[in-house]
Amino acid sequence: MTESPPPAARRHAVVTGGAGFIGSHLVDALLATGGRVTAVDNFLTGRRENVAHLAAEPRFTLVEADVIEAVPVAGPVTEVLHFASPASPPGYLEHPIETLRVGAEGTYQALRLAERHGARFLLASTSEVYGDPEETPQREAYWGHVNPIGPRSVYDEAKRYAEALTTAFGRARGVSTRIVRIFNTYGPRMALQDGRALPNFLCAALQGEPLCVHGDGRQTRSFCYVSDTVAGILAVLERGDAAPYNVGRPGEMTILDFARTILRISGSKSPIVHGAAWPDDPRRRDPDVTRLCGLGWRPRVGLEDGLGQTLRWFAEALGRGVGA
């Protein structure tokens, strides 16, 4: 294992993309350790309301900036967690160049910040680096099956490059690095118009509209509640090594079964309809988390409990007209 995290009294973590869905929950968790946290976000896909509850917190700072240009944070800095990037298909398909640049130039700027301050660096990568996998469950040793010029490649290849750059900074410049490959995560603060299956299904169910399953619905996903994902990220940050870690809840289910689960939990009578399949949509997603469990991590929130909490948040958000 690696060195221990810094004491809370001198801990200053910088989270790029800190106003995003997972980033904002990570900010909360880091603040709970007693240190200072600076969130950097340009609000391309992040939302101010995700961190609005921290406005009066003296240990929290929000910096509006584009990390492609620089990460304008004064030291000392003890940890840099790079979460800046569009993460949903509508987000990265609408902003393909920005997605590629934040994976390349943004990762470089965040790594340079960590290097200057002797800080630990953690990269938020993704299960999308595995592409449409030829093995299930996916192990970190699997190299992937990715279309390098397909519509999803702007996200897939940005993250694959970011992993290579992070590894290079560790090997060539001695930066203490971590990489987490995050699988499907859900919970409060997801954008209502995120475009992925869960927000689409929940919004449709709550509004009495059809749930649209793209393709035949036999493609599988695993779903991890955001608090479990954040706990996994912190386990890697504090106790992990430089090799990638899958972070997600094992146990795949088909998208069609997932839509039926949403209908049952919500009590909605909405019909399920089928639409065109997404290009290069992976057929299987299921993480092997043996390495993560070796750090003492276990998922604690079951699917039904997590969906219930998320359903209540979506219902309130729809009523307030926020989270779009």
Distance CA 114, CA 59 (A): 20
Smallest Cα–Cα separation from 45: which of 101, 90, 82? 90
Which amino acid is residue 158, in one-letter code? A
Tokens standing for residue 217:
């619905």
**Structural contact between residues 182 and 162, judged by C-beta atoms closer than 8 angstroms:** no
Residue 4: is it exposed, middle or buried by C-beta count within 10 angstroms (0-12/13-18/19+)?
exposed
Q: What is the dihedral of CA 232, 238, 244, 247, to 10 degrees?
A: 0
Tokens standing for residue 223:
């779903």
Burial per residue of 43-52, b for 16 or more beta-carbon CB atoms within 10 angstroms, e otherwise: ebbbbeebbe
Cite the beta strand spans of 84-162 per DSSP E: 120-126
Residues with catalytic roles: 155
Q: What is the dihedral of CA 129, 133, 138, 139, to 10 degrees?
A: -70
Distance CA 310, CA 70 (A): 34
Distance CA 35, CA 20 (A): 20
Phi and psi (nearest 5°) for 241? -115, -170
Distance CA 301, CA 307 (A): 10
Tokens standing for residue 292:
């993560």
